Amino acid sequence: MSTTPTSPAPSAARTTLLRGGDVHSPADPFATAMVVERGHVAWVGSEGAADAFADGVDEVVDLEGALVTPAFTDAHVHTTSTGLALTGLDLSAARTRGEALALVRAHAAARPTDRILLGHGWDAARWPDGLPLTRAELDEAAAGRPLYLSRIDVHSAAVTTALLDLVPGIADRPGFAPDGPLTRDAHHAVRAAAHAAVTPHQRAEAQRAALRHAASLGIGSVHECGGPDISSEDDFTGLLRLAADEAGPRVVGYWADRDVERARALGAAGAGGDLFVDGALGSHTACLLEPYADAGHTGTSYLDAHAVAAHVVACTEAGLQAGFHAIGDAAVTAVVDGVRAAVDKVGLARVRAARHRVEHAEMLSPETIASFAEFGLTASVQPAFDALWGGEDGMYADRLGAERARALNPFAALLRAGVPLAFGSDAPVTPLDPWGTVRAAAFHRTPEHRVSVRAAFTAHTRGGWRAVGRDDAGILVPGAPADYAVWRTEELVVQAPDDRVARWSTDPRSGTPGLPDLTPGAQLPLCLRTVVAGRTVYVGPDE
């Protein structure tokens, strides 16, 4: 891909012509060129028509056959934690407890001056013995230093005795375990103590690392899901300032607090995101209607339908989005019942107009799906969860049994019902990986839940913008924000989960724009450049 400047116009006013590639646009399914002016798409069309613009622009980019698409939006990210995992102790690749402990020892030796050691990503469900890290093992591996290791789902953590000593009364908090991982309030308390040790400089560097990495993957915007039980106000506001001051992906902030005015004061788009109704399946804290298959309880409930209703009413009246973390079927039911009660008070039209969100929404029934559609709730979901934990032998089957596990993450049913979808990663729970996310939805481990690549791509681009109330973005048409990515990829195709119902859309005569082949095993596209509001925020090493 080559760039030719044609005039020295100021960057804010530059007009750019991209040509000689494939432009993914519903305005012209065969487009090969695009003009960007003042941070917006000004025109898309054919190579022949592009000649008329060539002499009047400030810059001409020869795509050399590359693909241009809307930039991705990751609709659920924990930016600082993602950056800390990228730059620090990441246990997600540990295949055994022994490997995890070896990584802890090496990390402790490499950082002798850190007051508290931080790590993330262990998953005992994937280890041969299935046993989590014990306190005694970690005390030895960390040489007696304070250590916090969040489980991959971030809803429990393994810690050392030295960290517990920094939290008075920790043994009396719900979720405390004498030797095993901590959950619930005990986990929240040690997490707060651990994150308090991160200096403002370390925090900013972690945020930069996460946003740089996102940009390198063609991600043009992220939805930060912060909150008093997750991070800190300084972390949240610092990230919003950094994103506003430095070139990189856009950041839309959600603050998970029932104090609606506090969320507004912090600059949040909504008082939601990870406002916990329950926990996570891996940590046995997702709230279920029936007990876990491998535990004699139904998980943890943090908010009931009454509390949900009060929050939805408060947010609707304040003109903010409400949002809830709900994974288990009991938690999702509580959200639906609460929203229904809010509708009775403020009216269906106002609730639908607010576009309230439900994060994760994994255990759904036909009835709760219908309610999502009725109330205009956005399902902010993570297809990589199924890729990582789904299937007959996956963690979901261990926790729920095969029959209940097969019902999880029913993306096709949500789309058929008209429920808006926004895709994300929940990074660092699963990595930032937009094309991998689209692949996970299109090749869901349960075939009846699969959606077309086109539908999945839309959920990961335009869906994220719609989730924040913008219907004019995430799509390359005249007037839309010029947030786009340029990709090196193989031949473009149209993939659908069922040829019998999608045969016409896959026929070239339909004019459906193609996308990269995402068949499992196929090489994913390589990002060459990412542009946000017409401003380049990432250029690949080969460019």
Which alpha helices (H) appear in 347-448, and where do they start and end?
Answer: 348-354, 366-375, 383-389, 395-400, 402-406, 411-417, 434-442
pLDDT of residue 153: 87
Which residues have CB under 8 Å from 499's CB, separation 6+?
506
> What pLDDT, on the 0 to 100 scale, is given for residue 511?
62
Residue 226, classed as helix, strand or coil, is strand
Q: Where in the chain is the domain with CATH 2.30.40.10?
A: 15-71+477-489+525-539
- The predicted structure's pLDDT at residue 502: 46
Task: Please give the DSSP secondary-structure letter assigned to residue 12.
Answer: G
Q: Is the peptide bond before 428 cis (omega within 30 degrees of 0)?
A: yes
Pairwise CA distance, residues 413 & 523, whole Å:
29
CA-to-CA distance for 391 and 405, rounded, in angstroms? 8
**73-91 pLDDT per residue, tens:** 999 999 999 999 898 899 9
Where does the chain hold its CATH 3.10.310.70 domain(s)?
80-197
Place of tokens 């393994």: 158
pLDDT under 70: residue ranges of the chain: 5-13, 498-511, 543
What secondary structure, in 3-state letters, does 300-335 show? CCCCCHHHHHHHHHHHHHHCCEEEEEECCHHHHHHH
Decide: 301 and 330 in contact? Cβ < 8 Å: yes
Helix (H, G, I), strand (E, B) or coil at 467: coil
Distance in angstroms (rounded) separating the CA atoms of residues 457 and 437 = 9
User: Looking at the domain 80-197, which fold is it?
Assistant: Diaminopimelate Epimerase; Chain A, domain 1 (3.10.310)
Instruction: Give 60's strand partners.
Output: 4, 17
Report the distance separating Cα 310 and Cα 317, nearest Å.
Answer: 11
What architecture (CATH level 2) is domain 15-71+477-489+525-539? Answer: Roll (2.30)
Q: What is the pLDDT of residue 500?
A: 43
* Single pTM value for the model: 0.92
